[in-house]
Amino acid sequence: MEKDMIQSLLRLIGVYKIYEKWLSKVIERGEIPAHIAIIMDGNRRWALKRGLEPWLGHRAGAKKVEEVIRWCLKLGVKVVTLFVLSTENFRRDERELKELFSILREKLEEYLKGDLLHKNRIRIKVLGRKDLLPGELREALEKLEEITKGYDNLFVNLAIAYGGRAEITDAARSLAKDVLSGKVKIEEIDEELISRYLYTADLPIQDPDMIIRT
């Protein structure tokens, strides 16, 4: 059975490549979104449906990330936001979280050692509360941010330990501090000013044009 599966996969590879090229040409005919946000959901369900451990679904999903990045580079997308791990996900089973953190660290190490980011001038930015993450994972993320901070061809945001309410809370706290210190006057507060306190403040395009939930 395993042999048959391998043969089937080999046959499908050629078909998939042809389909990928055709799809790319179709997409290029229309307007290309400048900022795409991808909610990486369904990995766990995919694994459980196949009788696999949840983290094997996360591993399968992680393999697709580089492929997505290359698609975006080819199409000329400027910003990609990947919603990897929400603050709510921290409620999951301890073993699953441990495996997920391990998978993330492995992929980050691959990017650190590879040339994808440097060759294509890809900047990595973390959106979320990094203090909630294990030390080794946090260090790898910070290192990626540091070595790519001067790149501007493609901006890839990794939303890890991210929550919408957490972002609003952090923005409100920072804004409140500036009001108390006199840097900002209350009458100056509007939507544009608040946007400067969000995690995406330094991006060329803050709001996504397209949101994809996998």
Q: Catalytic positions, please?
A: 41, 89
CA–CA separation, 79 and 208 (whole Å): 8
H-state helical runs in 76-199: 94-113, 116-119, 135-148, 164-181, 191-195
Strand partners, 29: none
**Nearest alpha-carbon partner for 169 in 133, 209, 128, 130:** 128
Q: Is the separation of the CB atoms in 169 and 134 below 8 Å? A: no
Structure tokens at 61: 């999903």
User: Which residues, listed in sequence order, are joined to residue 17 by a DSSP beta bridge?
Assistant: none
Q: What is the DSSP letter of 153?
A: S
Based on its alpha-carbon atoms, the radius of gyration of the chain, rounded to whole angstroms, reads: 20
The residue type at 66: E
Tokens representing residue 22 in the block: 């055709």
- The structure tokens 């397209």 sit at 210
